[in-house]
Structure 1
Amino acid sequence: MKSKGNFGDYSRNFITDVPADLKDEQSLFFEQTIPRFAEEAIYIYSFKENRMIFASGWEEVVGYRDDEINMLAIVNMSAPEFAPFSHDLNDKALQFIHNKTEDLEKYSFTIELKKIHKNGSEVPISARVGVFSSENGKIESIIGRFQINRSLIFGKIMRYAAYGPDKEKFEEELNKILFYHLAISNKEKEALSLVAKGYSFKEIAHELGVSHSAIEKRIIPLYKRFDVKSLTHLVSFAYDNNILP
């Protein structure tokens, strides 16, 4: 089911608008130990404390001071055309990881989207969100890195990727809820790029070290998702919408 309201139906149970106390001991520790690149904003949100516990770089990226930015604001500042997709991705990723109990810190996802600056302008962002800490098999906190990426060319297609020990299942679960969005994952894009080079499904399977059926599962659903009738049409659609370079 697609999310309603300003943010995901599942995520809303875990998100607050409480900003970080940048003067407390843990925030000062993170400031000293977590590297941050130019034009990058970082947050750490604690589910245990129901608040942001660290924020850095937000004024440079989206115009909000580090002591005023909060999780609810970050979620809701997506540009309108990206918001439904972003909300559903956040929801399904959080649900998936909540059902895991091991190696939680190895799970993350990426998304390319536009965020709305405090001054109303649009900012092209490459974002990565992952588990920062866990305790007794449960997520304790997450970390998000939002980097301005001026090289992004946006078409109608949303782009995302999943990472973690159970990466295949993670992406499969994301694909289920994201099927009704015009979106493509890194794994689907990887296979499609080889199709565009003239590889057969069998050759792509060999190249990527997976089964023939695995390639079919990555490519065939794209016909319905993008409303195309043939492989040639699919490749043409991919170029026209900046999925392939």
Structure 2
Amino acid sequence: MTRLFLLRLLALSMTLLPWTPAAADDDHITIAAAADLNGVMNTLVDAYKQGHPDSRIDVAYGSSGNLLTLIEEGAPFDLFFSADSSYPKRLVAEGKASGQPVPYAYGHLVLWSASFDMSEVRVADLLQPSFGRIAIANPQHAPYGKRAEQALRAAGVWDALQPRLVFGNDIAQTAEFAQSGNAQVGIIAESLARAWTGKGSYILVPPSLYEPLQQSFVLTQRGADNALAQDFATYVQGEDARAIFAKYGFNLPDTGEH
């Protein structure tokens, strides 16, 4: 599928959300969230709404690169949680975001499989034909896919694995490929592996094999004057939210508070 088709498909799925297409209101926000946050963001929103039962928070997930493009083209998001800090910085530089990006977590890659014991598998071991097809996110617009490529190159197996690679549009689709059996191994986000408690087997990819996955969020211009967006932005930097991120395997940025 072409990138344009995928963007249109994502945009179509977003229209199914109960958005207010005109000016944003203070009890409703829409969040663009990187696909690795599929479990953690739902947990964060549920926890936040316990203290704010009247708030309406919709979340659209996708690869950070595709979400960036949609925001640049005017999609009505109030907050952008990216898996790569460079994308929120780009929105700021373009005048499409308010304030500066805020780092909220550091992500990790894992080797995950529904059918193999991965507890002692190294990245270089994926060369063994018995591991079959390997799923990674598309490196062109998915930060976790870019880091997966870096890890495979660093392990010296990228070229040899080309015929066996299966590319997901984002890290969530990549994980689905591995979970469904369309691929026998997935190089996915640890956060997704932890969300599947008791399912499959995984092992961390050594962080030395890829650039750090510093993840940041930013208020868009649409969300800049929205009280709910501002309050949620404050919430995700607090101790309760940090504990939720940690539960899903993220390292936390130093807040400078201790």
Shorter-chain TM-score: which interval? under 0.3
Which gives a bigger RCO, structure 1 or 2 (Cα 8 Å, sep 6+)?
2
Using the size of structure 2 for normalisation, the TM-score is 0.25
Using the size of structure 1 for normalisation, the TM-score is 0.26
